[in-house]
Amino acid sequence: MLYSRIPAADKRAAFRARLARPEIAVLPGAFTPLSAKLIQEKGFDGVYISGAVLSAELGLPDVGLTTLSEVALRGGQIARLTDLPAIIDADTGFGEAMNIARTVQELEDAGVAGLHLEDQVNPKRCGHLDGKAVVDDTTALQRITAAANARRDPNLLLIARTDIRAISGLDAAIVRAKQLVDAGADVIFPEAMVDLAEFEGIKRAIGDVPLLANMTEFGKSELFTHTQLEAAGVDLVIHPVSLLRIAFGAMERGLDTLREAGTLQPEVAAMQTRARLYELLDYEAYTAFDTDVFNFSLEKHFGA
């Protein structure tokens, strides 16, 4: 009932331990707090909170328009509702070194288990679009160093994303990945890898440091299976926008049906039932709690 009873610090420690296991960790993207509950119920390792999804929910493109306050608020709403660790997209940190330090502490207070920072130039854009630009080595490393110095819980997972592969090639991505590890990154997130061999190359370069793969639809990377990614040395995989796309695809079809047929009866069989929604919301626990609270007579205690 209500929110998770597991403290954020315990979620962080548990996720650190989970990454030490050989099996790949799978984190679907939660686009609402309720979707995070569903991800937990289905037995996944964590939830991912995508910057592109947060922007889309506000009706904005993913070009760095969201603010730290907006991201921290939504991230906290999602993280507190699930027992799973939540990893959040912190874009470029909402500024440079001092801003990044504040970003890390705000998101730590929001209860996330980890966050990733990228090396794009502001205004940033989706990592699977052309026309990106990345900052120089010094700026990229300053961002990660500032984040590492700012975190108060050493188990907060600091993920360094680099977009340099699409601009300067795989060799440049390998060099930057190693530099980011030296700067304090706990996980390396190389964006827009084109094949499994590229993941293997990054993994060889960073050794025991965990490697993250982004399996987003309609992007530069093929949608490899978890088995394929694990064999290539990937330690955790995110599916950032998938649930949002599935949901909005269904909503669009439903609205078309409503417009054309004047009823949603043809769509009812594919809908989540009221009973299933109430089960996911745990209505029964709330009802039991309410009964437990109001199990006395007003007349007995206060008179008629």
Q: Calculate the alpha carbon distances from 300 to 12, 83, 295 in Å.
A: 48, 41, 12
Is residue 62 annotated as part of the catalytic site, yes or no? Answer: yes
Instruction: Please name the residue ranges forming H helices in 61-134.
Output: 68-79, 97-109
Is residue 292 annotated as part of the catalytic site, yes or no? Answer: no
Is residue 155 annotated as part of the catalytic site, yes or no? Answer: no
**Which candidate in 12, 45, 62, 176 is catalytic?**
62
Is residue 301 annotated as part of the catalytic site, yes or no? Answer: no
Crossing angle (nearest 10°) for helices 170-183 and 137-150 = 30
- Phi and psi (nearest 5°) for 287? -65, -45
**Which candidate in 12, 45, 89, 186 is catalytic?**
89
**Which candidate in 186, 191, 198, 235 is catalytic?**
191
**Which candidate in 108, 126, 128, 239 is catalytic?**
126
**Which candidate in 74, 116, 125, 245 is catalytic?**
116
**Which candidate in 74, 106, 186, 214 is catalytic?**
214
Asked whether 74 and 84 are in contact (CB, 8 A), the reply is no
Instruction: Please name the residue ranges forming H helices in 124-232.
Output: 137-150, 165-168, 170-183, 196-206, 226-231
Find, among 6, 40, 9, the residue nearest to 282 by Cα: 40
3-state secondary structure of 42: coil
**Which candidate in 108, 118, 119, 163 is catalytic?**
118
**Which candidate in 16, 48, 155, 165 is catalytic?**
48
**Which candidate in 91, 108, 163, 186 is catalytic?**
91
First to last CA, the chain: 33
Is residue 126 annotated as part of the catalytic site, yes or no? Answer: yes
For residue 121, what are its two tokens?
């130039």
**Which candidate in 16, 74, 143, 161 is catalytic?**
161
Find, among 229, 233, 201, 232, the residue nearest to 214 by Cα: 229
Asked whether 171 and 225 are in contact (CB, 8 A), the reply is no
Give the residue numbers annotated as catalytic, written as ranges: 48, 62, 89, 91, 116, 118, 126, 161, 191, 214
